[in-house]
Amino acid sequence: MLASVLTKTIRDRWLGYVIGGGTLALLLLMGMAVYQDIDISFYNELPDAYRSLVGIPENADIGGLAYGAIYASYGALTLAGLGISAGSAAVAREERFGTLGILLGNPRSRTHIVASKAASMVLLTTLGAGILWGGGLLAPMVLGVDVGGVDVGALVIHMFFNTLFYGFLAMAIGAWTGKTVLASGATVAVMVVSFIAAGLLPLVSGYEDVARAFPWYYFQSGEPIINGVSWADMVVLGAGIAVFAGVALVGVNRRDLRNQAVGVTLIDRLRANPMTRNVFDRLAGSTRVSRVWVKTASEQQGLLVVTAGVMLSMGLLIGPMYSLLDEPLIDLADQFPETMLALFGGGDMSTPEGFYQVETYGLMAPIAVMVATIAIGARALAGEEAAHTMDLLLTNPIRRSVVVLEKAAALVLHGAAVGVGIFIGVALGATLGGLDMSVSNIAATSTLAPLIGILFGALALAVSAATGRIKAAVWIPAGLALVFHVMNALLSINAGIAGWAKLSPFYYYLGSDPLLNGMPWGHAALLVALSAGLIAGSVVLFERRDVRQTG
């Protein structure tokens, strides 16, 4: 049982760690290549608050800057997010979908199952950290950059312990409550608050020691990029990991496990209430049909909470951060090559709109939406087949077309939810930073981000319908998204061939500068039409294909 649960969990989750680690390694290579061509001395003139928040050490060289700006901030948050997703699902997700009882029906204890899940999380984190470590060593070799004073291995070890701390915290909450959304949401909140507090409190006179109460402090305070591994800090994080593992073990052994495969949803409660029954009966439709999209949406709730929470937090932080930068940011905007800015979304970084476009909307926003939508699109049909549940679903009086449309509805719902998180974060961040940005333009751009993400999620749904293969449904849209993004960035900066950029869907996302000019309704309509076409194609493909009988 230990081995089977361990290997199944690794099989189910390894791809996310490979994609996350590989993407960050590629971003490191791109960032280091760009930093070679600019004068980076201005970074040492930036406010301490900015450098502290993004993990750039004092007097950083090219290596320290690249590792700090990409690995120590985006990388640490991404890897921790994967850990939270795994930890929150370890016990609570099995319980929610009624599979924990099946596992416990075998001659193995609850302790064995928790140990299996814990071991899988450690091994998966090792996989992700190993990819980052390899990418961190390979990038300077490929570019011929001297990083002799930088210890990337120490930084990755800190990221490893940091990830497991939050992963086991999520596991402990899930083991005691049986609720994936509570486990992931509470842990993301702890991580975000800790990230902000650990970055800013050491800079406030009299509050330096208060930062020690926040776990992110022990990840970054020792500046592992320069000083190597801070084993004292790792002992603190390791102790937290051990405590949370013990709490999870006690929790799952002492608590009565829920017998429901799926908990009572908000719509179920509203339909049961006599005051709202008629309205929500019409909204939900028949019981069997409504449960398809409810089930699909609920399966990815943890991932949705993580992605939306991270984007909300990033938007909230960037506004006040921009207000701290002042003149050094203008110097930064003048030195970054046009090609590099185009890859990150383009825009004048000396303006708040351009800064948000580069830092949030250019890459992070569409990636966040795609994480949510491609996950649903890829597993919507192929996942049901792999889990041997598609036949059971289709034995009900539900047409195949309805199944596809219900799955697509869940995909759109999750994409829109991430867009709402982006909008709230950016709007509040701009307000806190006193940036005087147009709320309607923020809303327009935060609407276009889900539209581009839903488009590639719909492509994942189409591939899932056509092939029944989860991996193909993940890799094909992810690969095409990367190709189209790079194509749009490189073609748009060359006046002679800029017109060809219109072949890329990303042109219709930020090509009209919606943060400055508002909603381009024609572009939005085209993205909606493309998504609708892919969903319609998914219906046709799924109706014509024989459903596989084996995983």
The pLDDT score that the predictor gives to residue 107 is 58
The pLDDT score that the predictor gives to residue 488 is 78
Average pLDDT per block of 10 residues along the chain, 551 residues long:
71 81 81 65 56 58 70 84 87 63 61 88 95 91 79 93 96 87 82 79 74 91 87 96 94 67 49 59 45 64 74 82 61 53 66 83 86 84 64 65 85 92 93 90 95 94 86 83 78 68 89 91 96 93 66 41
Sign of CA dihedral 515, 516, 521, 527: negative
Considering only CA atoms, which of 119, 120, 88 is closest in space to residue 14? 120
Which tokens go with 229? 């591994």
The pLDDT score that the predictor gives to residue 131 is 95
The pLDDT score that the predictor gives to residue 550 is 44
CA 199 to the chain's CA centroid = 21
> Could you identify the residue written with the tokens 């994609």?
19
> Could you identify the residue written with the tokens 């829920």?
258
* Cβ atoms of 81 and 310 closer than 8 Å: yes
The pLDDT score that the predictor gives to residue 160 is 97
Q: Look up residue 264 and give its DSSP letter.
A: P
Considering only CA atoms, which of 227, 252, 242, 236 is closest in space to residue 100? 252
**pTM exceeds cut of 0.75:** no
Taken as a whole, the chain contains a residue count of: 551
The pLDDT score that the predictor gives to residue 283 is 45
270's CB contacts (< 8 A; 6+ apart) are 276, 277, 279, 280
The pLDDT score that the predictor gives to residue 130 is 95
